[in-house]
Amino acid sequence: MIYTDGKQFLLEGKNYGYAMFVNGDGFLQQLHYGGKMKREDVAYLAETYASIVPNHWINKDEAFDYLPSEYGFYAKGDYKEPTAIFERQDGASMSRLRYDSYRVEKDAPKIVGMPHVRSGDETLVITLKDDFSDIEVDLYYTVCENSDVLVRNAVIRNVGKKPVMLKRAFSFRVELANGEYQLLRLAGRWGQERIPEIAPVAHGLTRIHSLRGSSSHQTNPFMGILRKDCGEESGECYGVQLVYSGSFALTAEWSKYGALTLQGGINVTGFGWELRGGESFVTPQVLLTYSNAGMGEISREIHDFLRERIINPAYAFKRRPVVINNWEATYFDFDNEKLCAIITAAANLGIDTFVLDDGWFGNRTNDFAGLGDWFVNEEKLKGGLKKVSACCKEHGMKFGLWFEPEMVNEDSELFRAHPDWALCKEGVEPMRSRQQLVLDFTRKEVVDYIFGVVSKIIKENDISYIKWDMNRYVSECYSASLPYHRQGEVMHRYILGVYDLAQRLLDEFPDLFIEGCAGGGGRFDAGMLYYFPQIWTSDDSDGYERTKIQCGTSLCYPLSSMSCHVSVCPNHQTGRTVPFDTRGRIASLGAFGYELDVTKMTDEEKESVKAQIEAYKRTDRLILNGELYRLSNPLESNYFCMLVVSKDKSEAYVVGERGLCIPFWSDKFYPRIRLRGLDNNAFYEIEELKTVLSGGALLGAGLPLPKTGDFGSWAWHLKKVR
């Protein structure tokens, strides 16, 4: 709901209120972001808001350092990081953005060329005008009444004739009232993505960012802001999440009077954008989520929001294929016979999609050559992909194929024909990561070419699924097609090129299912989820390490978005052996599949695969639609435990895993685990325990943690019986 009289604004979602007003000098000021309030309260907050400026010796101009500007402009005594900077041709960049007007639109704005929220109830658009230049900024706020997610972004418009250089163009600024806050970030590295880290916010600028051209393994465009004492199940907290996949920044900075200023959007380092007369610059959207019931609630709100309003509706709630991928089974060493043997064996086990990974194209016998040459290597695959496709058809399986569309090896026909299509500068030795260079996706002809060759392969071979990989970061960010003063646009234009290719493929093949990947989970973000309903979570599929990765990822991404496969032991990344049923249960908490050589399995193992797939098909609807409760965090205890409950609370699925086998009494952990999210007054049958207990007992007293061996696990299926 949006209330306004043209001077005061109150936005209301399910449990939050967000208030602003235009002060006597015409500046838009934030008054409140937190729990709900009444319309009548806004006037009082507005009247008294200047009380946060401490005393008489501060003159009006200096007050900007204290006042909560809704969009921070440069200079005028506000020394916090500005939200936007626009430099005019005379070099001046100070600005003074004053409130001009507002409008309310039905629905969410449709942003062309960038991922965005697909629907919303109402959108408030507030226009600010700069006193000193021809710049206008539209601030967008989309409210969804049944949700605690508020969507924001800013559109910067040059309404004059002369070009202006944007040197910073963040999407939003928000201030949280005084309190002690902790910041939760998702940190990591290859094979260990999105591991949560919580620390108090200190003075100075706290910044989470990526300069890698992708959201990256090291960090993620999400931050949680937790009031002191907030935890998983209680307390006030906020989620801040960008719908963006390129180099980003999110910052937190204490203001002088103890409010916490949050901002973010496209990374500032290296950024510059020439905004010509009449042009607009659309910043990426940010999802702000509020909860007064702990981080668990933030996660559930975000999961619902992403599933209902960001992920491709054709797939968001659709049962996902059970996949067999040949990467860890064969790496580059395969031929048509080997693949067909895998397909045949997999089909007999109930797997429904075969995904042929890296190595089927160009001169690709290892990772030194071939990227960019998207035509089949007939020497390796005699009879071509048609034969693989036919084998899949014969066994009633769908066929998926791996691509790495953004990359090129120097040893490739594509690079030999178009050396200038790689992002690098003549005379500068480029960084070669995994022996490859990044294609210049800022250039339309490059994206057109890749679209042409990839579409041809899809059409000719009946491909219904692709795995879109990105195995290195962007480093020498220089495009031969742009003049010197526009090189600052390359990083952002690059990711726009990626979005463009994804959208064009989906337009051309509306039934195509795309799984994202980036050297494991190096580009797992809400932007990619707009195009790819699921993303390969990590190259580390060890059944224990995955509990940490999936737990961290679940903070702001739904289970159905995490592609999780059972792989062979000893695990190829960790060397560890984890029981087969544990690997299956952990993988069942996502989009399920296998990454091993099924032809080498014993009959007993094959029977286990069949049983795992049957079990998965009993719970996959919960994974798609259910509400997630993290019952035990493997980073804080010896147990991992997650529960997913149906929206009507009639069914639940619990998976747990014990870490190393240590006696209960030496554990920090009480040996019973309390369930969550169930109906307190109902009775539930717990199938594996052959017992019926009340919701009250399950929520209040809990169930005893099973005693297992190292990395042992369990699953409980709960059904409401009365």
Catalytic residues: 469, 539
Residues 544-563 that bind ligand GLA (CB under 6 A): none
End-to-end CA distance of the chain: 38
Distance of CA 698 to the CA centre of its chain: 33
Cβ atoms of residues 154 and 71 within 8 Å:
yes
Smallest CA-to-CA distance from 340 within 402, 383, 371 is with 383
The minimum distance between CB 595 and ligand GLA, in angstroms, equals 8
Dihedral, CA of residue 691, residue 714, residue 533 and residue 108, to nearest 10: 50
Work out the angle between the directed axes of helices 603-625 and 336-349 (0-180°, nearest 10): 70
* Among the residue ranges 30-38, 106-114, 297-305, 516-524, the one whose residues contact ligand GLA (CB under 6 A): 516-524
# of chain residues touching ligand GLA (CB under 6 A): 11
Q: Is the peptide bond before 570 cis (omega within 30 degrees of 0)?
A: yes
Q: Figure out which of the listed residues 123, 471, 612, 619 binds ligand GLA, where binding follows CB under 6 A.
A: 471
Per-residue interface string for the shown chain with ligand GLA, residues 667-706, x marking contact by CB under 6 A: ----------------------------------------
The minimum distance between CB 222 and ligand GLA, in angstroms, equals 21
Residue 497 interacts with ligand GLA (CB under 6 A): yes or no: no
Number of H helices, E strands in the chain: 13, 38
Residues 225-264 that bind ligand GLA (CB under 6 A): none
Cβ atoms of residues 15 and 148 within 8 Å:
yes
The minimum distance between CB 671 and ligand GLA, in angstroms, equals 38
> Scanning the structure block, which residue is given the tokens 């001077």?
7
**DSSP SS3 for 238:** strand
- Bridge-based pairing of strands 398-403 and 465-468 is parallel
Nearest CB to ligand GLA, comparing residues 49 and 536: 536
Return d(Cα 177, Cα 247) in angstroms, integer: 29
Q: What order do you get walking across the sheet with 16-22 strand by strand?
A: 2-4, 8-12, 16-22, 28-35
> Scanning the structure block, which residue is given the tokens 């066929």?
399
Residue 214 interacts with ligand GLA (CB under 6 A): yes or no: no
The minimum distance between CB 432 and ligand GLA, in angstroms, equals 15
* Among the residue ranges 161-169, 258-266, 513-521, 628-636, the one whose residues contact ligand GLA (CB under 6 A): 513-521
Consecutive H or E run containing 41: helix 39-48
Per-residue interface string for the shown chain with ligand GLA, residues 373-402, x marking contact by CB under 6 A: -----------------------------x
Nearest CB to ligand GLA, comparing residues 31 and 322: 322
Cβ atoms of residues 70 and 80 within 8 Å:
no
584: Cβ–Cβ under 8 A, 6 or more apart, which residues? Answer: 566, 608, 612, 615
Return d(Cα 673, Cα 704) in angstroms, integer: 6
Return d(Cα 612, Cα 599) in angstroms, integer: 17
Nearest CB to ligand GLA, comparing residues 364 and 492: 364
Nearest CB to ligand GLA, comparing residues 99 and 415: 415
* Among the residue ranges 34-42, 248-256, 284-292, 514-522, the one whose residues contact ligand GLA (CB under 6 A): 514-522
Return d(Cα 246, Cα 171) in angstroms, integer: 14
Nearest CB to ligand GLA, comparing residues 410 and 469: 469
303: Cβ–Cβ under 8 A, 6 or more apart, which residues? Answer: 557, 558, 559, 627, 628
Nearest CB to ligand GLA, comparing residues 359 and 626: 359
Burial 632-667 (b: 16+ CB within 10 A, else e): bbbeeebbbbbbbbbeebebbbbbbbbbeeeeeeee
Q: Figure out which of the listed residues 519, 527, 533, 626 binds ligand GLA, where binding follows CB under 6 A.
A: 519
Q: Figure out which of the listed residues 10, 351, 381, 517 binds ligand GLA, where binding follows CB under 6 A.
A: 517
Residue 536 interacts with ligand GLA (CB under 6 A): yes or no: yes
Q: Figure out which of the listed residues 136, 539, 540, 620 binds ligand GLA, where binding follows CB under 6 A.
A: 539
- CA distances (Å), origin 553, targets 67, 305, 492, 527, 536: 36, 16, 25, 15, 11
Q: Which residue is nearest to ligand GLA (CB)?
A: 358
Nearest CB to ligand GLA, comparing residues 153 and 471: 471
Tokens coding 413: 């026909």
The minimum distance between CB 615 and ligand GLA, in angstroms, equals 24
> Scanning the structure block, which residue is given the tokens 């069942």?
588
Nearest CB to ligand GLA, comparing residues 8 and 435: 435
The minimum distance between CB 574 and ligand GLA, in angstroms, equals 15
Nearest CB to ligand GLA, comparing residues 68 and 191: 191
Return d(Cα 371, Cα 437) in angstroms, integer: 9
* Among the residue ranges 137-145, 216-224, 512-520, 614-622, the one whose residues contact ligand GLA (CB under 6 A): 512-520
The minimum distance between CB 365 and ligand GLA, in angstroms, equals 12
Nearest CB to ligand GLA, comparing residues 305 and 327: 327
Return d(Cα 169, Cα 259) in angstroms, integer: 22
The minimum distance between CB 471 and ligand GLA, in angstroms, equals 5
> Scanning the structure block, which residue is given the tokens 């959007």?
265
Residues 347-376 that bind ligand GLA (CB under 6 A): 357-358
AA letter at 516: G
Nearest CB to ligand GLA, comparing residues 308 and 540: 540
The minimum distance between CB 261 and ligand GLA, in angstroms, equals 37
Nearest CB to ligand GLA, comparing residues 471 and 550: 471
The minimum distance between CB 118 and ligand GLA, in angstroms, equals 28
DSSP code of 111?
Answer: -
Residues 276-335 that bind ligand GLA (CB under 6 A): 327
Burial 231-248 (b: 16+ CB within 10 A, else e): ebeebbbbbbbbbbbbbb
166: Cβ–Cβ under 8 A, 6 or more apart, which residues? Answer: 84, 85, 86, 156, 271, 272, 273, 274, 275, 281
Return d(Cα 647, Cα 641) in angstroms, integer: 19
The minimum distance between CB 505 and ligand GLA, in angstroms, equals 18
Nearest CB to ligand GLA, comparing residues 359 and 488: 359
Q: Figure out which of the listed residues 469, 489, 515, 540 binds ligand GLA, where binding follows CB under 6 A.
A: 469
HEC assignment per residue over 134-192: CEEEEEEEEECCCCCEEEEEEEEEECCCCCEEEEEEEEEEEEECCCCEEEEEEEEECCE
| Cα Rg, the chain, nearest whole Å | 26
* Among the residue ranges 135-143, 515-523, 606-614, 651-659, the one whose residues contact ligand GLA (CB under 6 A): 515-523
The minimum distance between CB 390 and ligand GLA, in angstroms, equals 23
Beta-bridged to residue 200, according to DSSP, are 182
The minimum distance between CB 277 and ligand GLA, in angstroms, equals 44
Interface with ligand GLA by CB under 6 A: which residues? 327, 357-358, 402, 469, 471, 517, 519-520, 536, 539
